[in-house]
């Protein structure tokens, strides 16, 4: 049909069979139109996202609203930072700055204080009450403050376990694998700051896979500053030796995470570039600078991931006791 049309355009005076060509074109047009109307609108499906997915999302939000872990976490976080908490009743709490906060001015907390609530209905009814979620600036800023500072980065605990000899030393290490790059590269899509936990004995055996963190954490007992100082002095030489063993082991785990991130980034960004190149073949509105920008972005992402590294973020000494 395409060739017939070219021939008629090349010879305008030739009209024999032209009516049949028009008829065939009309029939093909109607058939294609019917096929499109009966088919699926994939773009509409992607953007609508209704039905079961919407219901699942609503249920997930309800579960988060009823999650008491956020309340316990937030109260503990405010205690660590040094924020005063006053129960106002009606599921509302007044937060005010104190003289012993970790920082003089905490972002999001005014000198006069603020009123917060963990109840969505209260927040909707009271304009003066801020609704606290995991994404609220108070929680995010608090986490950033703790994670970027030295608070909680090292500690010592006692493990009461008669199955192990008294004085057995374990060192729990938390490394963070991360990459530094400008925000516009959005490296968190491929390699967000990722913690890697190790639990080493004096021989460098990593027990983290056999000893789950939460279960292990519940078995530990805190020690006072004086006792902790004496224990640290007693095991200092062994700790340094274990740290060297940890440094030798973390590289393999970190490299595996970085390589996986590089493969994912290369696959997704290359696919995006190929898709745009294919689109340009049928759409002249796709400009060369768009392709250049995507390729440049891909190269910058890959270079940033090549420079990714790891750091020791937290350390806990565990000493076994029978008392």
Splitting the chain (323 residues) into consecutive groups of 10 residues, what average pLDDT does each group show? Answer: 72 79 87 78 64 78 83 94 92 93 90 93 92 93 86 88 92 95 91 95 93 92 89 91 93 95 94 87 83 92 95 93 86
List of residues 6+ apart from 150 with CB closer than 8 A: none
The answer as to whether 46 is a domain residue is no
Does 20 share its domain with 128?
no
Residue 52 lies in a domain: no
Q: Is residue 126 part of a domain?
A: yes
Long-range own/partner contacts, residues 268-276 (CB < 8 A, 24 or more apart): 268/190, 269/294, 269/297, 269/298, 269/301, 270/298, 273/298
- Is 250 within 8 Å of 198 (Cβ atoms)? yes
Does one domain contain both 194 and 130?
Answer: no
- pLDDT of 119: 92
Identify whether residues 137 and 169 lie together within a single domain: no
pLDDT confidence of residue 277: 87
Check whether residue 70 and residue 190 sit in a common domain: no
For position 290, what pLDDT does the model report? 87
pLDDT number for residue 210: 93
- 314 phi, psi to nearest 5 deg: -155, 155
Q: How many domains does the chain have?
A: 3
For residues 66 and 179, membership in a common domain is answered with no
Q: Are residues 214 and 311 in the same domain?
A: yes
pLDDT of 78: 95
Q: Which domain holds residue 217?
A: 153-321
Asked whether residue 186 falls in the same domain as residue 296, the answer is: yes
What is the pLDDT at residue 13?
Answer: 74
- Position 104 in a domain: yes
109 and 244 assigned to the same domain: no
Of the candidates 276, 254, 256, 275, the one whose C-alpha atom is nearest the C-alpha of residue 264 is 256
The pLDDT value given to residue 51: 64
Q: Determine, yes or no, domain membership for 193.
A: yes
Please report whether residue 2 resides in a domain.
yes
Q: What is the CATH number of the domain that holds 130?
A: 3.30.360.80
Task: Judge if 177 and 209 occupy the same domain.
Answer: yes
Q: Which two tokens stand for residue 250?
A: 């973390």
Residue 224 has φ and ψ, to the nearest 5°, of: -75, 170
pLDDT of residue 255: 95
Is residue 169 domain-shared with residue 314, that is, in the same domain? yes
Instruction: Note the pLDDT of residue 2.
Output: 66
- Same domain as 296, residue 269: yes
Examine the fold and report which residue of 146, 164, 183 is the final residue of a domain before the chain moves on: 146
Is the domain of 252 the same as that of 139?
no
Is 55 inside a domain boundary?
no
């Amino acid at each position: 049909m395409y060739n017939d049309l070219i021939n008629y355009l090349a010879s305008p005076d030739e009209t024999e069979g032209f009516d049949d060509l028009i008829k065939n074109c009309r029939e093909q047009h109607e058939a294609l139109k019917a096929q499109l109307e009966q088919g699926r609108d994939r773009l509409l499906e992607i953007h609508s996202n209704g039905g079961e997915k919407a219901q699942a999302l609503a249920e997930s939000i309800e579960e988060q609203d009823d999650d008491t872990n956020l309340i316990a976490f937030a109260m503990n976080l405010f205690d660590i930072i040094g924020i005063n908490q006053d129960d106002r009743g009606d599921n509302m709490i007044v937060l005010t700055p104190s003289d012993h906060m970790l920082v003089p001015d905490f972002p999001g907390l005014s000198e006069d204080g603020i009123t917060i609530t963990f109840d969505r209905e209260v927040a909707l009814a009271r304009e003066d009450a801020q609704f606290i979620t995991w994404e609220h600036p108070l929680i995010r800023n608090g986490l950033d403050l703790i994670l970027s500072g030295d608070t909680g980065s090292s500690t010592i605990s006692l493990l009461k376990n008669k199955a192990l000899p008294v004085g057995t030393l374990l060192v729990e290490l938390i490394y963070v694998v991360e990459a530094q790059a400008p925000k516009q590269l959005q490296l968190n899509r491929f390699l967000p700051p990722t913690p890697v936990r190790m639990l080493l004995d004096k021989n460098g055996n990593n027990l983290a896979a056999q000893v789950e963190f939460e279960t292990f954490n519940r078995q530990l007992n805190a020690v006072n500053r004086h006792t902790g100082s004496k224990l640290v002095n007693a095991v200092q030489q062994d700790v340094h030796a274990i740290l060297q063993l940890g440094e030798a082991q973390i590289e393999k785990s970190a490299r595996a995470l970085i390589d996986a991130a590089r493969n994912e980034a290369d696959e997704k960004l290359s696919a995006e570039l190929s898709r745009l190149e294919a689109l340009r073949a049928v759409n002249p509105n796709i400009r060369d600078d768009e392709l250049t920008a995507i390729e440049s972005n891909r190269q910058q992402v890959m270079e940033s991931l090549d420079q990714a590294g790891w750091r020791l973020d937290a350390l806990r000494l565990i000493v076994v006791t029978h008392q």
